[in-house]
A = this chain, B = another copy of it.
């Protein structure tokens, strides 16, 4: 699905990541940890083509990112659900329409997926807020809406950046269950988080690999997690 080979990245200064080689195989479940500012978000951006490696090669679904034009990236994004760390929405549209947005822009009939949308909103606990505008939501509610938006298309890959940073423990378990469920359906999942207890809890449900960013490298974390 997504392959990085000897990838390095820097924002103009010294390398933030270097020599990263990783393959997100179909149906795999990964966690990504690392201290704040280590490059987790940067890594995810490399995985969905928002950033282009400064060295090495990143490929999405077999296509080299460097060779993709904007349209190709847009099409690839429809197969990748992304939960951004700072969840941004179209503030003038109600949450329900925001969650359905990926359907709209890819030209699918949002009306047909109405039932699906409803279920999803119910699962993340936003049924009663479906008609609210994003600025009227609480921090945690926004995060849940962002997760719902990322998976409404049932994409092949789900990349979630701190999807539980602002929600309580029970809700984070609920969201985790959702991701595990999707993984069981064959989706590839990568969750960046600093919350080790979340990772520990997940390990009882799913066989997840835990990656850690340290010293500019992405390494497999030890069994201590």
Contact = CB atoms under 8 A, between A and B. Distances in A.
Interface of A: 11, 33-37, 40-41, 85-86, 125, 129, 136, 138-141, 144, 161-162, 165-171, 194, 196-197
Contacts of A37: 125, 129, 138, 140-141
User: 9 tightest CB-CB pairs across the interface, nearest first?
Assistant: A36-B140, A168-B194, A165-B165, A85-B139, A36-B167, A35-B168, A37-B138, A165-B166, A37-B141
A144 B196 contact: no
Given A144-B36, A166-B85, A197-B197, A139 B41 contact: yes
B171 A35 contact: yes
Contacts of A194: 140, 166-169
Nearest to A161: B139
Copies in the complex: 2
Nearest to A42: B138
A170 B35 contact: yes
A138 B36 CA distance: 7
Contacts of A162: 139, 165-166
A221 B165 CA distance: 22
Contacts of A167: 36, 194
A40 to B, nearest CB: 8
Contacts of A170: 35
B125 A168 contact: no
Given A11-B136, A36-B138, A139-B161, 13 more contacts: A36-B144, A36-B166, A37-B138, A37-B141, A85-B139, A85-B166, A140-B194, A162-B165, A162-B166, A165-B166, A166-B194, A168-B194, A197-B197
Contacts of A86: 86, 139
Contacts of A85: 139, 166
A171 B36 contact: yes
